[in-house]
Amino acid sequence: MKYYIIAGEASGDLHAANLARELIRQDPRADLRGRGGDLMREAGVRVTRHYKEMAIMGFLTVLKNLRRVRKNLRECAAEIDAWQPDAVILVDYGGFNLRLARTLAARRSRVYYYISPKVWAWNTSRVRAIKRLVDRMYVIFPFEVDFYRAFDYTVHYAGNPLVDAIHQHPLQEETLEEFAAANRLPSKPVIALLAGSRAQEIRHVLPKMLRVVDRFPDFQFVIAGAPSMTDADYAPYLRGRPVPVVHGQTYRLLRHSSAALVTSGTATLETALLRVPQVVCYSGEGGLLAYILFKLFVKVRYISLVNLIAGRPVVKELLMQQLTPRRLARALSLILAPPARARLLLDYDEISRLLGPPGASSRVASLIIQSLGRDQR
């Protein structure tokens, strides 16, 4: 079978690479091409354009680069037309991939989507297009099955790839003292700061996280450096404050942390799966008006994946105007206390049960191969 896979950013490259390995393992005749990154290339995909040449994030940025977006779409569609794959597999990256799906509507290739765009959060109108354009949708959160069912669209949940990622990084036999020594840190209890992976997130959230550091003198605060950031990117916010940055060791840092302050996103679920008590933070530009607009347009009750999966407030969320030093310090104090910590860890266990065992990539690959087999009979 010929599979054309498209991933538009780093996380999609990771999950697409894992899926590609499983397609190759399960289909001896698999031939894979597509657009993505180094991980996809290493997994056996012939990558014709790197995602760094495609990545355009944000509404205004897309508008400014509309000509470039259209050119990428035309080139990608022409490549698919010329190669005639049995399946086009879209991985996350809804802004580009849903536009491409419209372009491919008249083609014969089957269109599969792995990792749904977050249409449940703010743009439910896109569901109509997904129903029309996507032959099979494979989601990574259990609540997405019920969300799509309300629109009379059947999707498939086969597990969450973050469970796989954490399963592939088993707990090292390492003490906090050994971790601290390896990173030239004091031998002192740790609170991890996960301030986001993008410069804009760090600019809005990290300064507010840092304002509570002096209130917890018995702990050391350590920043989990984002892959695309350097020490120089964090330096303007630290201004001499002794908060170190540890790069390339996020899971290791979390495993040695008593608690974490986490910017809303995938990291909230990773922190939960690693069983670290957390406070979820989110902030942006615009003050009170931005907060009102945020509450008006966001369609879900919770912003963190932990609470969305649980369907209830498991972790404290401090959003926009709510993210003040006083509230953040109070929420952090609470989860450092044994009773709240014990309750939270039990809730985390329930979330792990809801997500299911490792093996998401293997199961999705199997479902895609089975679907193609049925269609060609």
Answer for the pair 164, 139: CB distance below 8 angstroms, yes or no.
no
Same domain, residue pair 193 and 297: yes
- Pair 332, 262: CB distance under 8 Å: no
Same domain, 125 and 246: no
C-alpha to C-alpha distance for 79 and 83, rounded to whole angstroms: 6
**What residues make up the domain containing 145?**
2-159+359-375
pLDDT digits (tens, 9 = 90+) for 75-116: 999 999 999 999 999 999 888 899 899 888 877 779 999 999
Give the integer Cα–Cα distance in Å for 374 and 377: 6
73 and 94 in a single domain? The answer is yes
Residues 79 and 122 in one domain: yes
Q: How many domains, the chain?
A: 2
Give me the residue label for tokens 């959160």: 141
Q: Are residues 202 and 258 located together in one domain of the fold? A: yes
User: Do residues 128 and 203 both lie within one domain?
Assistant: no
Strand partners, 4: 33, 88
Task: Report d(CA 52, CA 34) in Å as an integer.
Answer: 14
* Residue pair 112/130 in contact by the 8 Å Cβ criterion: no
Residues linked to residue 2 through DSSP beta bridges, in sequence order: 31
- What proportion of the chain, given as a percentage, has pLDDT over 90? 68
pLDDT 10s digits, 106-137: 777 799 999 999 888 777 888 998 999 999 99
- 183 shares its domain with 92: no
- Specify whether 274 is located in the same domain as 205: yes
Per DSSP, 169 falls in state S
How would you class 240 by CB atoms within 10 Å of its CB: exposed for 0-12, middle for 13-18, buried for 19 or more?
exposed
Both 214 and 200 in one domain: the answer is yes
> What confidence tens digit (pLDDT) does each residue in 292-337 have?
445 545 566 888 999 999 999 999 999 888 999 999 999 999 999 9
If asked whether residues 98 and 192 sit together in one domain, one would say no
> For the domain that residue 363 is a member of, what is the CATH number?
3.40.50.2000
Contacts (Cβ under 8 Å, ≥6 apart) of 317: 264, 280, 282, 302, 303, 304, 307
Q: What are phi and psi of 144, to 5 degrees?
A: -70, -25
